[in-house]
Amino acid sequence: MLEAETEAGDYWKKCGDEALAQNVKGIIMMGAHWACLNDKIEVATNPNPGKSPCPFVTPSLYKDWVPNPDLATANRCISMLKAERFNVSPNPTFDWIHDTFLVLIKMFPDFTKCPPVTIISMNARYDPWYHVKVGATLRPLRKEKYLLIGTGGAVHNLYRNNWIDMLLYRESLGQERPPESWALDFRQATEDVVTQNRGPALRKAMIRLMQHPAYREAQATDDHWMPALFAAGAAGDWEDEADPNVLAAETWELVNMCNSQFTFGSYRTGIHKVKEGQDRKEKILRPRMVGIAA
Ligand SMILES: [Fe+2]
């Protein structure tokens, strides 16, 4: 999916175009491939990050694309997370991983157009409430024209994928037989939870999905689920009840892997009551949450 032309990739491009049209100030991402031990969390502050290689993806697709790290926002995120008592620190040597840069390349093929990007780690204890709180802590940045993205996987169990076509033919999208029932069940549960819940109910329902009977088959490890909880934290305030959450695109591959693209919230103009009896029309940007991708 990270290399081929897919519905998911087309949607990322659309999200990138929309972000540019909305003139977003920056992008804040949590991927599924970087986690810190004990109670730590880190924010990338490498001014010239390299890009770690991605298995099965042709290097020419990413080698000339230059990252645009946002050190000022990284330090701001660190301050915000510290204020909420997270054990957070900068990481000045972190190289970007394909969970973030390959999504950004699809969104902004011309790297000179990519807004500044801040990357935040997960915590390797994979506590769902912790990751919701990280998103909730950074949520105010959405109102300052930041786009927040969690990139992981809705159904992502590498042990249960069928790798034969990939290994023999470098092809993953054939789907010559249907996905297994646990994959279909969890994919459907995820869609239902996202589209039928808003605000704090979304946060709770996303956490509750970890108790779904098919969760452990759909997620062999918790790492690809945490970014969705980060996104739900960032879009799960009472104020977010006004906005629908949608499943916008989807790509199955390797028989059992489902890459669902969810958007929480929307860009819109809102009317907020600031004083009793006095309405003030106010431009409020609610950047998109592109959930669960790489
Ligand atoms: Fe991944």
pLDDT tier for residue 275 given thresholds of 50, 70 and 90: very low
pLDDT tier for residue 55 given thresholds of 50, 70 and 90: confident
Asked if residue 233 is part of any domain, the answer here is yes
Separation of CA 219 and ligand 1 centre (Å): 11
Asked if residue 102 is part of any domain, the answer here is yes
pLDDT tier for residue 242 given thresholds of 50, 70 and 90: very high
pLDDT at position 291 is 54
Q: How many domains does the chain have?
A: 1
pLDDT tier for residue 271 given thresholds of 50, 70 and 90: very low
Separation of CA 277 and ligand 1 centre (Å): 50
Separation of CA 152 and ligand 1 centre (Å): 6
Tell me the average pLDDT of the chain: 92
pLDDT at position 2 is 84
Asked if residue 24 is part of any domain, the answer here is yes
CATH number of the structural domain spanning residue 237? 3.40.830.10
Separation of CA 114 and ligand 1 centre (Å): 21
Beta-sheet strands, E only, within the chain:
26-36, 40-44, 87-91, 117-123, 146-150, 245-253, 257-264, 268-275, 278-284, 289-290
Asked if residue 22 is part of any domain, the answer here is yes
Asked if residue 79 is part of any domain, the answer here is yes
Separation of CA 127 and ligand 1 centre (Å): 18
pLDDT at position 292 is 55
Q: Show the domain range for 275.
A: 7-293
Separation of CA 31 and ligand 1 centre (Å): 8
> How confident is the model over 271-285, as a mean pLDDT?
41
Is residue 61 helix, strand or coil? helix
Is the model's pTM score more than 0.95? no
Asked if residue 225 is part of any domain, the answer here is yes
Asked if residue 1 is part of any domain, the answer here is no
Asked if residue 88 is part of any domain, the answer here is yes
Separation of CA 113 and ligand 1 centre (Å): 25
Q: What is the pLDDT of residues 140-186, one digit of tens each?
A: 999 999 999 999 999 999 999 999 999 999 999 999 999 999 999 99
Separation of CA 147 and ligand 1 centre (Å): 20
